[in-house]
Amino acid sequence: MTQPALDFVIAALERIREKDSRAPRASRTALALLQAAPVAASLREACRSPTERRLEAPDKADSLAAVRERVGACTKCAHLACSRTQTVFGVGNPDADLMFIGEAPGADEDREGEPFVGRAGQLLTRILKAMNFAREDVYIANILKCRPDMPAGSFGNRPPTPTEMQTCRPYLMEQIEIIQPSVLVALGAVAVEGLLGTRGTMRELRGRWHTYNSIPLMITYHPAYLLRNQAPSEKRKVWEDMLQVLERLEQPISDRQRNYFL
Ligand code: SF4
C-alpha cells in the first residue's frame, strides 16, 4: 500500500474513533497487509482507544509523588531549608480541572505541611464550598514550597522575594505540567509575579482572563486580603471572578450562587 493510501486509511480510522461509539474494525487480511506496512506503528497508534491511551499514560499521582520527594530534599535556598519545619508541596486531586496557586506557606502551613490551612485557607475552603467544590476536588499549591524565614523572635509572615520565587518556580511548573488543569486561579499579586514574572496591581490584573502556557488563568485577590478588608464590595469582586471560573469550567450556576456574597 502506498503512503498516501495509508494516510487516507489512518485519517478515516481516526475519524471513526472520534465520532463512533464502536471501535474501528478491519478484516484479518486487511490487518495483515497493514501490519506489514512501514507505517504500521502510526496506524496502531491511531487505532488505540482513549482508555488504552489513558492506561499507558504515567499516573499523575506517581509523577507528583516523585516531584514531592525532590522538593522534600531541596536545599536550593539554603536559608529557607534551614528555617523550615518541612516543605509544603501541594494538596488535592492530581486530576483536578481547577488549580489554585498562592504565594508561600505561612506559619500554620509550615507546621501542618499543607497549603492554605490557616485563616486565609479556611476562607478559601468556604469559597470552594460556595462553588460546590471540596478541597479534595481541586489542587492547591504555592509558588514557594518553604516558608519565607523571619528574623528570630518576630511573628507573622513575609512575602517571598523575587529570587526565592524564581528558584522554586520550576517545581510549580512541573506540578502544572503533570496535573494539566483546565483552569488556573492565581491568588494575589505576589502569586502572579511568581507565575508570570510580571508585576501589576490587582486592580489591573483581576477579573479577566490571562493565560499561562495556554491554560486559562484567572487572577483574583488572596483570601488574606479579604480577611484584612471585609468590605462586601471586595468580597463580591472575588466571587464574580469565581463565577467566571465556574462558567469556564462549564459548571452549572444556580440563581443563589449568582446572587451570592462571600
Ligand atoms: S523554597 Fe523551593 S527552591 Fe527554595 S529550598 Fe524550598 S523547595 Fe527548594
In terms of Cα–Cα distance, which of 150, 125, 138 is closest to 223? 125
Dist. CA 87–CA 114, nearest whole Å: 9
C-alpha 145 – ligand 1 centre gap (Å): 6
In terms of Cα–Cα distance, which of 250, 246, 5, 29 is closest to 127? 246
pLDDT tens-place values along the chain, 262 residues long: 555 666 666 677 667 666 665 666 666 666 666 666 555 555 555 566 655 655 566 799 999 999 999 999 999 999 999 999 999 999 999 999 999 999 999 999 999 999 999 999 999 999 999 999 999 999 999 999 999 999 887 888 899 999 999 999 999 999 999 999 999 999 999 999 999 999 899 999 999 999 999 999 999 999 999 999 989 999 999 999 999 999 999 999 999 999 876 6
Report the Cα–Cα distance between both ends of the chain, in Å, rounded.
65
Nearest CA to ligand 1 atom 3: 168
Atom of ligand 1 nearest to the CA of 167: 3
- The verdict on the CB of residue 143 being under 6 Å from ligand 1 is no
C-alpha 102 – ligand 1 centre gap (Å): 15
Dist. CA 2–CA 109, nearest whole Å: 62
* 100 beta partners: 140, 185
The DSSP code sequence of 22-67 is SPP---HHHHHHHHHSTTHHHHHHHHS-HHHHHHHSPPHHHHHHHH
Question: Which residue among 84, 110, 145 has the greatest number of ligand 1 atoms within 8 angstroms of its CB, and so is best to mutate?
Answer: 145
- The verdict on the CB of residue 144 being under 6 Å from ligand 1 is yes
pTM of this prediction? 0.79
Dist. CA 134–CA 92, nearest whole Å: 9
Q: Is the dihedral of CA 210, 213, 214, 217 positive or negative?
A: negative
Nearest CA to ligand 1 atom 4: 77
DSSP H or E run through 67: helix 60-72
- Dihedral, CA of residue 80, residue 83, residue 87 and residue 88, to nearest 10: -90
**Which of the 8 DSSP states describes residue 250?**
T
